[in-house]
Structure 1
Amino acid sequence: MSTHVDIDPAILYFGTPVVLLSTLNEDGTTNLMPMSSVFWLGRTAVLGVGASSRTALNVMDRPEIVLNLPGVDLVTEVDRLALTTGNAAISAAKAERGYVHVPDKYAHAGLTAYGSDTVLPTSVAECPVHLEGTVTALHHLGAPKLLAVEVGVTAVRVAPELRLAGHPNRIDPDRWRPLVMSFQHFYGLGDRVHPSRLASIDEELYR
């Protein structure tokens, strides 16, 4: 007897961090988009976004971006940005899902713009982690409506309380509590469950 069953889920969001993406609009304002299709390798972030989204259109013309990582305490503000779009012309697909046009995402969510160091889009002051970067490559995925965005990180700014004691360039994973999305629902991390053999490797060896 099989211990597994075959299913055909519409999405495969098994749990990834929530990120607020800051990109520059044509008029110089900053658009915010919540998303959770992201992973990192070294100093490169790879983002999955809709090819017709305001974020995708912005980085095609102005390839600068900030990845703002919220903690669990910002879940209310993040949720206010759900079902909003920076595009004045809402596609039929988004209209069917209930999206509305919001030109000022900061005001709508109750968040504060914060000046960035190496890029033009503003950061979200309330987010404890800001990853500034430039878009280095765009890839259309299997479906034409999906885009993978490669971002080279140019600056990292964190809230002081996240730094590991005695290590000015390291994050304390026991203090970092990212907001996570799993199958359209918000979650947070629990306590550390087991010592890691990988943790015996000095982080600087990955630099």
Structure 2
Amino acid sequence: MKKLTKFFTSVLMVLVMLFSFSFSAFAMENKSDNNDQLMVASDDNYNLVPENYEMVTSGYLELNSDGSVRITDKYVDYVQKKMEERGVYASVLADGDTITIVENTPAMFMRSSNSGVTKVKWLSFNLFEIYLDNNLSNKVVAGTGIGVALSTWIPEPLVSKIVATALGVSAELIALKNEGRGVIIRGIYTLVPQPLATFYWIKPQ
């Protein structure tokens, strides 16, 4: 009788161990599947945070299949119109992911030839490089006029405001890096979870 009891006890323990192992394996497989799904979902940033694609959804940037972007005619028209409203005669040039503003006055031409350029290069839907010439770099440092300028170059009001705020915070570093030809600033903006522009680096032109 004791041998029979031991036998059944052993069989029961084996069954419990097998069941526990199977359940753990199933749970791990399920967890792995869930993680894979989460990873796929997190890669699909557009579906999760479409607000951060504001420049694309508004029609100012066109998103390519490889993640790069292109300046649209709508973007060029917007900047040209804003320059005219400000009474500034300028050529607005678009080349792929970059929009450049060249003021059409002899004084500005002479100044621009040795004091840097003004342009915005979009590296992706919300990653950018801003080129500020010497004049605009000095305006940032002085805290005057840069908000108006950015609202001309960056069509989305909230995006231009948060970038302008980040420029104000970085004024001392811009002054330090400007060697007479202005600066280049690489940064990124996000509108979700909160409106924020972050600069990765600032260097001389």
TM-score, normalisation: structure 2: 0.24
Going by fraction, where is strand more abundant, 1 or 2? 1
